[in-house]
A and B are shown apart, each in its own frame.
Chain A
Amino acid sequence: MARLTIPAEEYMRSGHSACPGCGATLVMRYILKGLGPNTIMTVPACCWTVIGTPFPTTALDVPMLDCAFEATGASISGLRAAADALGIKDVTVVGFAGDGGTADIGLQALSGMLERGTDGVYVMYDNEAYMNTGVQRSGATPRGAWTTTTPVDEGSRGKAESKKDVMAIVAAHRPAYAATVNVAFPEDFLKKVLKAREIRGPRFFHAFSPCPPGWRYPPEKTIAIGRLATDTNVFPLYEIEAGTTRITRKLGKAKPVREYLEAQGRFGHLTTEEIAAIQADVDAHWSRLLAAEASNP
């Protein structure tokens, strides 16, 4: 019998209320598979507020505390402090927030939690816009993407600005561990979560979370698009442990970004020139990452 590389245990139930093909459900499922049953989940306003199902039901086998949109980092610190004060041992406190709740409105509380060295896990599931409110641009929306607040029209070509590099912001706090994960690469995902489980201190995951309605692609393509994101270097997989950067999936030759962009309606308007500019952005980011890896102490 083949050896299982993904823990068989499930801590998330079917019957949740996510859209078909939702990447965020896989992020939750893999995070819990890795961290196990002694987890407390705190969730701000985001898709998962709704995915978790309304009162009095819940889609998780672990306890879940809703917190304010911009306060996930503080909620993690509060739960950790209470667990310590009450002598609750062997518990992992996890904040599970979207990209808007992390990169934009929640950035201060995230910074506070990292700076305080709170022993907890912060997961940013990144679907690259405010999806729960209906696809408005966030700081994590990539350049060129259509959203409802960056429409495509005569005077507008989707989002004009680049995606905020949240991993770099997190890395500047020198956390115990930070990693990018992608639902299309569950083995890499779980390896990192299982490693983080054994580390104390602040740990951060930037989880790539494709969104069929927001990105305008058919729900069955979530994994294919996730794979393309990493194989085109749009979303490289790497980890930063004790200041050391390590790329965990490196291809001999990356696929052209065009393949990733053309698979999604949100990029459907882009011209050859615009795609070339995005390719240049992606190449530059990849070079910076290689340089960071090469300059490890």
Chain B
Amino acid sequence: MVRMVLSGNHAQSYAAKLARVQVISAYPITPQTSIVEKIGEFVASGELPAQYIKVESEHSALQACISAAALGARTYTATSSQGLLLMHELLHWASGARAPIVMGVVNRAVAPPWSIFTDHADTISQRDTGWLQFYAESNQEVLDTVLIAFRLAEHADVMLPAMVTEDAFYLSHTVEPVDVPGQEEVDAFLPARDRGQGLRLRTPGRIGSFTMPDMYEEFRHKIAKAMDRSAEVLVEIEDDYHRLTGRHHGGLLPTYRTEDADAVLVTMGTATTTARSVVDALRAKGKKVGLAKLRGFRPFPAKELRELAKDANRIGVLDRSFTFGAAGAAFTEVAASLYTAKHRPALRDFVAGLGGRDLTPRTIEGMFASLLKAGGPEVEWSDLKRRLEVVRRG
């Protein structure tokens, strides 16, 4: 183990190197680019003996990874925002072809208007593509989760692609001390990929194929079962990782000070750190508040949420994106999973921090204040400006 000062992006790059990825295929996009630049350095220096395909689009980036994975290679790519949206067709393809690719995604707003800043609309709008989705809160969590994601994705019972996301600039370009495990430690945790399921030379076989209505549904059902099973496998893998490194990131829905909490705020990504400090401040004032972090969005931690709802009377959800015509996606999914709970808490959706708007302690205090009061609208845009100030230049 060595302690390094790393940006979230370089935490992705180091994790990919430690995972001994064999094929990388990537296309540049801000603010992802420094991930694949660093990997380019590793490959150029010989530190990472891998094939690095510099493709002409994100669409091709993911196709190249899918094809490489079909032959049994461990593959990695990274993207953001528009690049992820261009991949959409192939995101479905990767899960359908059961390609255990790991992808770093830097969460960035979707255009127009152009914005390169944090927003979860890019990955949230890919939630139905059959990818495992993990949202990281710190650079340490980025590095650890990428390694965990490889082992989970490649597990024989799972065989699904995984994305590990980090908020633009708050993590991607901010440096923090990160404990980087040694290569031997990682090799023990993440052995070479089992190539038993790939295409074989001189052997008839087809991955992708086509089916008639008598078969297609069973293929889909297998993916559904694998996704469900991944939640159980994750528990085993995180225990292993904990034994190896002493770190445990708490599964799909880690909680903070939720014991006896009346009001719990559900957060994703870097907003969690700010929310945690707000919880501490409110607890010091005697308010019974806590938080739960949606670390895993796929599989969705419905079981954990129902457990949480046993004690909490009010649950608020902080959404850093909005699903037009409905509400924040995290809110609707939390609400759906609690509908069948024995105890159904009051639910509120707080939409805030879109397009990189700072989620300040004050904004989050306001959410808790609103949550602790009875009533209020189901969906509240918490940090919306009452009046837009337009600065005229010239």
Bound together? yes
Residues of chain A touching chain B, judged by Cβ–Cβ distance below 8 Å, are 37-38, 40, 42, 49-50, 52, 54-56, 58, 60-68, 70-71, 73-79, 81-86, 88, 91, 108-109, 111-112, 115-116
Residue in B51, B53, B70, B90 whose beta carbon sits within 8 Å of that of A65 in the complex: B70
B72 / chain A contacts, CB cutoff of 8 Å? 82, 86
B199-207, B243-251, B335-343, B354-362: which lies at the interface: B199-207
B93 at the A/B interface (Cβ < 8 Å)?
yes
Cα distance, A76 to B53, chains bound together (Å): 11
Residue in A49, A78, A88 whose beta carbon sits within 8 Å of that of B23 in the complex: A78
Contact status of A82 and B73, CB under 8 A, knowing A63-B199, A112-B60: yes
B324 at the A/B interface (Cβ < 8 Å)?
no
B108 to chain A, nearest CB (A): 23
Cα distance, A1 to B163, chains bound together (Å): 62
B147-155, B209-217, B287-295, B315-323: which lies at the interface: B209-217
Cα distance, A170 to B106, chains bound together (Å): 35
B195 at the A/B interface (Cβ < 8 Å)?
yes
CB-CB nearest in chain A for B216: A55
User: Top 7 closest A-B pairs, CB basis?
Assistant: A66-B208, A78-B67, A78-B64, A74-B60, A112-B56, A71-B63, A81-B51
B57 at the A/B interface (Cβ < 8 Å)?
yes
Highest count of chain A CB atoms <10 Å: which of B54, B63, B203: B63
Residue in B63, B68, B89, B199 whose beta carbon sits within 8 Å of that of A109 in the complex: B63
Cα distance, A111 to B56, chains bound together (Å): 9
A68 / chain B contacts, CB cutoff of 8 Å? 59, 63, 89-90, 93
Contact status of A115 and B59, CB under 8 A, knowing A55-B206, A66-B208: no
Interface CB pairs A-B, < 8 A, 28: A42-B67, A52-B206, A54-B210, A54-B211, A63-B205, A64-B207, A66-B97, A66-B209, A67-B63, A68-B89, A71-B63, A71-B90, A74-B55, A74-B60, A74-B64, A75-B67, A76-B67, A77-B53, A77-B64, A78-B25, A78-B65, A78-B66, A79-B70, A81-B51, A81-B53, A91-B201, A112-B56, A112-B60
CB-CB nearest in chain B for A84: B51
Residue in B55, B65, B203, B212 whose beta carbon sits within 8 Å of that of A63 in the complex: B203
B208 / chain A contacts, CB cutoff of 8 Å? 64-67
Residues of chain B touching chain A, judged by Cβ–Cβ distance below 8 Å, are 22-23, 25, 50-51, 53-57, 59-61, 63-73, 75, 89-90, 93, 97, 195, 199-212, 215
B51 / chain A contacts, CB cutoff of 8 Å? 81-82, 84-85
Cα distance, A38 to B56, chains bound together (Å): 28
A81 / chain B contacts, CB cutoff of 8 Å? 23, 25, 51, 53, 64, 68, 73
Contact status of A55 and B71, CB under 8 A, knowing A78-B53, A81-B23: no
CB pair B63–A78 under 8 Å, yes or no, is yes
CB pair B202–A38 under 8 Å, yes or no, is yes
CB pair B204–A79 under 8 Å, yes or no, is no
A67 / chain B contacts, CB cutoff of 8 Å? 63, 66-67, 93, 208
CB-CB nearest in chain A for B54: A116
Cα distance, A77 to B201, chains bound together (Å): 17
Known contacts A40-B71, A55-B210, then 8 further A-B pairs from the complex at CB < 8 Å, ordered by chain A residue: A52-B206, A58-B205, A62-B202, A64-B206, A78-B25, A78-B65, A109-B63, A112-B60
Cα distance, A265 to B69, chains bound together (Å): 45
Cα distance, A91 to B199, chains bound together (Å): 13
A11 to chain B, nearest CB (A): 9
B209 / chain A contacts, CB cutoff of 8 Å? 52, 54-56, 58, 66
Cα distance, A84 to B43, chains bound together (Å): 14
CB-CB nearest in chain A for B21: A85
CB pair A73–B67 under 8 Å, yes or no, is no
CB pair A109–B201 under 8 Å, yes or no, is no
Cα distance, A184 to B56, chains bound together (Å): 36
Cα distance, A116 to B207, chains bound together (Å): 25
A73 / chain B contacts, CB cutoff of 8 Å? 60
A86 / chain B contacts, CB cutoff of 8 Å? 22, 71-73, 195
Contact status of A40 and B65, CB under 8 A, knowing A54-B211, A68-B90, A108-B57: no
